């Protein structure tokens, strides 16, 4: 499963130096289709790592997912 994450490192208190970010948009790449799954990320939440975002997506899918490849774009 591939997920493209558009991340915001600029809105306070986010900081690229500290690795903090908010999720702007999440797109699941399934076959040749793009599915907007932005609703799975908590709006306005400050994440401290990609791993923290992966754990939330695991919980949102309702089962452990062995691997989610997150492509970081800003």
**Cβ-Cβ contacts under 8 Å for 11 (sequence gap 6 or more):** 22
- 3-class state of residue 45 by DSSP: coil
Model confidence band, residue 13 (pLDDT cutoffs 50, 70, 90)? confident
Say what percent of the chain tops pLDDT 90: 26
Instruction: For the chain, give the number of residues.
Output: 74
- The number of CA neighbours under 13 Å toward the Cβ of 64 is 1
- The number of CA neighbours under 13 Å toward the Cβ of 63 is 2
Tell me if 34 sits within 8 A of 7, measured CB to CB: no
Q: Encode pLDDT of 41-58 as tens digits.
A: 988 899 998 889 888 988
Question: Between 47 and 72, whose confidence is greater?
Answer: 47
């Amino acid at each position: 499963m591939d997920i493209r994450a558009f991340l915001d490192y600029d809105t306070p208190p986010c900081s690229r130096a500290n690795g903090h970010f908010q999720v702007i948009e999440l797109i699941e790449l399934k076959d040749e289709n793009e599915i907007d799954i932005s609703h799975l990320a908590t709006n306005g939440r400050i994440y401290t790592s990609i791993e923290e975002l992966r754990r939330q997506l695991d919980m949102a899918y309702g089962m452990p997912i062995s691997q989610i490849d997150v492509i970081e774009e800003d």
